[in-house]
């Protein structure tokens, strides 16, 4: 089934994309754009899932050592005893 675009703004966007991508036609430009958008959406991970993974990593690392002395550590690294 063909896709007919009856919106001048959409047509102008298709022409601009055709020029930017050097596509052979507006149809090819739209085809590439639609494929790219489908791939982008399939590849995207929802924020909720990304945050869950980060929370799991943070939990695995655990809480910081309350006895750690950052100044002493930095001084030792720089040889400032």
pLDDT single digits (tens) 21-61: 999 999 999 999 999 999 998 888 888 998 999 999 999 99
Coil, strand or helix: which one is 8?
Answer: helix
State how far the Cα of 66 lies from the Cα of 31, in Å rounded to an integer: 57
Q: Which residues contact 33 (CB under 8 A, 6 or more apart)?
A: 17
Q: Give the pTM.
A: 0.55
Q: Which pLDDT band holds residue 81 (cuts at 50, 70, 90)?
A: low
Chain Cα centroid distance, residue 14: 24
Q: Which residues contact 81 (CB under 8 A, 6 or more apart)?
A: 75
């Amino acid at each position: 089934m063909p896709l007919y675009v009856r919106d001048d703004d959409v047509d102008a966007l298709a022409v601009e994309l055709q020029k930017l991508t050097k596509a052979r036609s507006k149809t090819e430009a739209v085809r590439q754009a639609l494929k790219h958008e489908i791939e982008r959406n399939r590849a995207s991970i929802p924020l909720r899932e990304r945050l869950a993974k980060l929370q799991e990593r943070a939990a695995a690392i655990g809480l910081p050592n309350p006895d750690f002395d950052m100044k002493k550590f930095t001084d030792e690294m720089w040889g400032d005893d």
